[in-house]
Amino acid sequence: MIRKINSNDREEYITLAKEFYRAGVTLEVIDTKNIELTFDEMMRSDEYAECYFIEDKGNTVGFALLAKTFSQEAGGMVIWLEELYIRPQYRSMGYGTEFFEYLEANMDSRVKRVRLEVEEENTRVVDLYKRMGFKMFAYDQMVKEYR
C-alpha cells in the first residue's frame, strides 16, 4: 500500500531518512536537522515536496520523497524523485515498481517529466529505472551550496 505521510509519521520518517543516508547510496550523509526541516515543509504544504510511505501488512517497507519544479526544458512541471528507499529485507520484491505504478496512476496531468538521480555503480537500481523507461542524461549536474 502507498500512502501520503501525515503529521503522525514524523519519527518514522526521520528514522527512514536516516537509514537511507546511511545505506551508502548517496554521496554524503546529511544532518538530521535537514531531515526535520523537510518534514516540516511537507506538513506546511505540498507545494514543493511530498512524501509517501510504502507499507505492507502494517510494516513500513520504505518511502519516496518527491520535489516539484517547473522546467522550461520539459515544457511544464517536473517531479524530482529525491529519494526512493526500500528497506533491505524488502528489496527485489516489487515495491519500487509498485511505487512507480502508483505515481503514474495518480500524477497531476500537468507533469511533463519525472527526474531522478542515481549512482551509476548502483547497477541494480539503474537497471530497474531503465526497464521503467528512464534514460540517462548526457550531461552532469553542478551545485553550489549556500549555508
The partner residues of 54 in beta bridges, in order of sequence, read 2, 62
CATH of the domain at 74: 3.40.630.30
Task: Write down the pLDDT at residue 26.
Answer: 63
Judge whether 11 lies within some domain. Answer: yes
Question: What's the rounded Cα separation, in Å, for the pair 78 and 142?
Answer: 18
Judge whether 139 lies within some domain. Answer: no
The angle that helices 32-44 and 10-22 make with each other, rounded to 10 degrees, is 140
Q: Could you read off the pLDDT tens digit of each residue along the chain, which spans 147 residues? A: 999 999 999 999 999 999 998 876 666 778 899 999 999 999 999 999 999 999 999 999 999 999 999 999 999 999 999 999 999 999 999 999 999 999 999 999 999 999 998 878 888 888 889 998 999 888 788 878 887
Judge whether 136 lies within some domain. Answer: no
Number of domains present in the structure of the chain:
1
Domain coverage including residue 26: 2-131
The partner residues of 57 in beta bridges, in order of sequence, read none
Judge whether 138 lies within some domain. Answer: no
Nearest to 70 by CA among 48, 98, 39, 93: 48
Judge whether 14 lies within some domain. Answer: yes
Judge whether 143 lies within some domain. Answer: no
Judge whether 111 lies within some domain. Answer: yes
The 3 state secondary structure assigned to 7-66 is HHHHHHHHHHHHHHHHCCCCCCCCCHHHHHHHHHHHHHCCCCEEEEEEEECCEEEEEEEE
Judge whether 59 lies within some domain. Answer: yes
pTM (2 d.p.): 0.89
